[in-house]
Structure 1
Amino acid sequence: MMKPTRIWDLLGLAVLAVVATWILVRVFYGSFPPIPLFAGASLYPVAAIEVVLAFMIRTRVANREIGDGPRQLHPITAARTVALAKASALVGSATAGVWIGFLLYLLPQQTFLRAAAADTPGAWVGLGGAVALVAAALWLEHCCRTPDDPDEAAH
C-alpha cells in the first residue's frame, strides 16, 4: 500500500532546490540566457490534464466503478495514476524551488540590472506553473484513494 505524499517531503525538496539555485544563479547569472516569459508555462497543461484526470477518477471511485470489467477503472491504472501524481508533486516541488531561487536573486537586483527586471516575469510564470502542478498532483493523488469499506471496519 502506498502512503500519501507528505507535504514536509515536498517542502524539503523545494528548500533544497531554492538554496542550490540561488547559489548557482548568484555565481553564474551573467552567463545565463534571458528567461522567456513562458519558460515555465509547460507545466500548466500538465497540471490541467491531471485535474481533469482527477475528476474522472473521483467519479469512478465514488460510483464504485473500479475493477477489471468493461467501463471500469482497472486497479493497475489507478496505481499508475497514483505514481504519476507522486512524481508530478516531486517535479513541481523541485521546479517551484528553482523558480523561487531565481526570484530571490532577481527581485533585489531589478533596480540595478535590466536583465533581472526582464527575467522576473518569466520566473513568476514558471513559479505559478510549478505550484499549479503540485496542487493538481496532490488533488489527483487524493482522488485515487478508495473510500473505506464499511464491511472491513466491522471485523
Structure 2
Amino acid sequence: MSKLRIRVLAGVFVVAAVLSWAGARLWNSVGTLPSVPLAAPVVLALIAAVLLATAFSLRARLRAQRERRPGAKGVDPLMAARAVVFGQASALVAALVAGMYGGTGVFLLELLDFPARRDQAFYAGFSVLAGIAVIAAALFLERVCKLPDDDDQNPPGPEPAA
C-alpha cells in the first residue's frame, strides 16, 4: 500500500478549485448558481472526527501491545489496513470536495452584498476547513498505522556493549 502524497492531494484540490470557480462563473451567467448546503461542512467534520477517533484508538491499542501490558487487545492487521484505506479514500474525496467548495467560495466572494450568497460563502469556507481537517486526520491515521521499516540497521535504543 503506497503512502498518501501531499502533492497529489494539493493537485486534486487546485484542479477542483479552478474547475469549480470556472463552472460557478459559467453557471451564474446562464442561470442561478445552486446553493452551498449547510450539511457539507458538518458531514466533513464528522468524517474527520471518525478518522481521528479511529487513529487515537489504534494508537492506544498499538502502544499497549508494544509495551506488552496485561490484557491489551491486539490490533488485527487487516483492520488496520482497512482503516488506512478508508483514511486515504476520505482524504482524496475531501481534497476534491474542498477544492470544489473552495472554488465556489472564491466566486461567491464577488457576491457578498447579497445575504444569501454571503451565508453560502461562509458555508463554502467552513467546508474547505473541514476538508483540510479530514486530510490531516487521514494523514495522522496513516502515520499511526505505519509499520517500522525493515531495512533500519540501527534501531533506537541502548547501544550493544563491545
Verify same fold: TM over 0.5. yes
Structure 2 residue aligned with 1:153: 153
Q: Cα distance, 1:32 vs. partner?
A: 2.9
Structure 1 residue aligned with 2:121: 120
Matches within 5 A, 1:6-155: 6-29=5-28, 30-64=31-65, 71-111=73-113, 113-148=114-149, 153=153
User: Hey, what's the Cα distance between the residues in 2 that align with 1:23 and 1:144?
Assistant: 39
Q: Cα distance, 1:118 vs. partner?
A: 3.2
Residues 119 and 91 from structure 1, CA distance in 2 versus in 1: closer, same or farther, beyond 3 angstroms?
same
Instruction: Kindly indicate whether the alpha-carbon contact (under 8 Å) linking 1:38 and 1:125 is maintained by their aligned counterparts in 2.
Output: no
**Runs of 5+ unmatched residues, structure 2:** 67-71, 155-162
User: Hey, what's the Cα distance between the residues in 2 that align with 1:76 and 1:142?
Assistant: 16
Bigger drift between 23-32 and 136-145 goes to 23-32
- Kindly provide the CA deviation profile for residues 86-125 of structure 1, in whole angstroms up to 9, marking residues without a partner as x: 10110111111111101110112323x4543232111122
User: Hey, what's the Cα distance between the residues in 1 that align with 2:136 and 2:150?
Assistant: 27
Instruction: Kindly indicate whether the alpha-carbon contact (under 8 Å) linking 2:105 and 2:120 is maintained by their aligned counterparts in 1.
Output: no
**Runs of 5+ unmatched residues, structure 1:** none
Q: Greater Rg, structure 1 or structure 2?
A: 2
Taking structure 1 as the reference length, the TM-score comes to 0.83
- C-alpha RMSD over aligned residues: 2.2
In the alignment of these two chains, the number of paired residues is 147
User: Hey, what's the Cα distance between the residues in 2 that align with 1:124 and 1:3?
Assistant: 30
Instruction: Kindly indicate whether the alpha-carbon contact (under 8 Å) linking 1:22 and 1:104 is maintained by their aligned counterparts in 2.
Output: yes
Taking structure 2 as the reference length, the TM-score comes to 0.80
User: Hey, what's the Cα distance between the residues in 2 that align with 1:34 and 1:93?
Assistant: 20
User: Hey, what's the Cα distance between the residues in 1 that align with 2:36 and 2:93?
Assistant: 19
- Kindly provide the CA deviation profile for residues 52-108 of structure 1, in whole angstroms up to 9, marking residues without a partner as x: 11011112223336xxxx932111111111111110110111111111101110112
Bigger drift between 4-13 and 51-60 goes to 51-60
User: Hey, what's the Cα distance between the residues in 1 that align with 2:137 and 2:99?
Assistant: 17
